[in-house]
Each structure stands twice: as structure tokens, then as C-alpha cells.
Structure 1
């Protein structure tokens, strides 16, 4: 048994807060690692690109509200995507405080991989959980997210 396996065994079920948080956090971290490995993007970058594919020209503030992210974080992600050539950012002429984001051709090309990537994720979830389990987990996670807003 490796040291990592021994530590995992020792701390199995351990959470300093609530027993649900450790497996929820682990599942989230593993999903994000898979996401980054398969897509080549961090989840926030990919989600911003996907949102812009659906509605190009959203402001950074609108994206911030949509994802409940700090506006400065959306600005940094937008700047990185712009630097890499995936989006273009333009100040709104009517209100100089507003910065709108638009997909570039390079960004659109990368989004063409979205359907295959999404299907791979859906397949993994279907292999782990049946439809009823997925629906129940979704309901429970939404209830948990709502409870954490208070």
C-alpha cells in the first residue's frame, strides 16, 4: 500500500465541517481536473466561451452575475481569453464602464469540440448514476446550494 493510499484510508470519511463536504469536494475537484484535461481550458474559461457562443456580446458584469463570480475574476479570465485570442473585449460606447466580450474565430473553432466533450461527460455520469439518481442528486444539490445562500 502506498503512502497516499494509507493516508486516504486513514482520512476516509473525514471532514472538518460536515460529512457531505469531503465527497462533494472530491467529486468537484475530479470533475474540474477531467474538464481541464479533456478541454484544455479551466472550467471558468470554457463556460465563458460557451455562454458567449449562446449570446455573444455579454458584458463582464452580466457574466459575473450569471456565474455568481467576483467581477474582478471575470475581468482576469476575460483578459486571459483575450490574450490567448479566444475572445475580443470592447468597451461599450454608451457606458465606458461596461466591457463586452465577443468570440473570435479561434474561440468558435475551439467550441466545435463542445458536443463531443459534453457527450463524454454525460456518458461517465450515466455509467455512475441512473436517470432517477441523477434527478435526485440534481434536486439535492440545488437545495444545498440554496441553503448556502442564507
Structure 2
């Protein structure tokens, strides 16, 4: 295994997923970021914008812009939080809920395509390890990681 070159595969998977979503979801007028947010709202309906940004590790400005677009398209609704009148929670509209089956179908189609030829057991193993890696990445202490490298490089 050549770890210094293997990182490119993460980039390839991410860029190709973005391209696929942008093309496959054109018929329902969703781009990559809109798709990512709406998919996460299916499991986290009622979440506020700040928590959604934190959940996905996405810059708040991207989340704000994307939510505004989804609201303008009639796919999600902002409602004032009863506990904190300054906060607004996000909910799917009937139109947004109506796309759920199509969205998940298209995403599953991509996963099936990239995992074709890999047995189900291996697919589950890889996905479970990817989840572990993503969680480690989510909680990464970059300063500590960089300092540890600085000590070894000298």
C-alpha cells in the first residue's frame, strides 16, 4: 500500500460523486450541495441551520446559500423555533418530501455502480470502515496532528 498516493482516490470519489449528482439531479433542479442538505434533512427534520452546518462540516455561508435556494424552490420551509425565537428550524415541504424516493434511488444507483463486482460482504466492510474514517476525520485535532508530524520530520 502506498499511502502517500492513495489519498487521490478520496478526491476522485468525491469529485465524481459531485459530477454525478449535478447531472442526475438536473431533472429535479437540484445541485450537489442542495442534494446533500436535503438528504440530511430527511433524517434530521427540524434541525436548525447551525446544527446542520456542524453535522456536515460545511461552511455556514454555503449552508445559508443552499438553504435559501431550497426555500426559493419550495423544497424546504423555515419555521421559528418555539424555544429560541431567534433560531429557525428546517422542515421539508410536501414538494421536498415528494422527491425523497427519487433522490434515494439515484444515490443508490451511484453506489451500486461504483461497487459493481464487489461482493456484498466486502461492500459492507468497506462502508463500515469508511464511516469509522469519516468519524475520525470529523474529530481530528489538526494542530496536534501537524505538531506530531513536525517532530518526526526534523
TM over 0.5: yes
Matched residue of 1:94: which SS? coil
In 1, Cα distance between the equivalents of 2:58 and 2:75? Answer: 20
Matched residue of 1:113: which SS? helix
Structure 2 unaligned residues grouped into runs of 5+ = 142-154
Which of 48, 56, 62 does residue 67 from structure 1 map onto? Answer: 56
- 1:11 alignment partner in structure 2: none
For the aligned residue pairs, the C-alpha RMSD in angstroms reads 2.6
Relative to the length of structure 2, the TM-score reads 0.70
Count residues in correspondence.
134
| 2:24 is the alignment partner of 1:34 | no
Give deviations 1:22-57, integer Å, cap 9, x for gaps: 232122101211122112323331232223223422
Matched residue of 1:100: which SS? strand
Structure 1 unaligned residues grouped into runs of 5+ = 1-17
Structure 2 counterparts to residues 71-150 of structure 1, below 5 A? 71-138=60-127, 139=129, 142-143=132-133, 146=136, 149-150=140-141
Matched residue of 1:61: which SS? helix
In 2, Cα distance between the equivalents of 1:107 and 1:63? Answer: 17
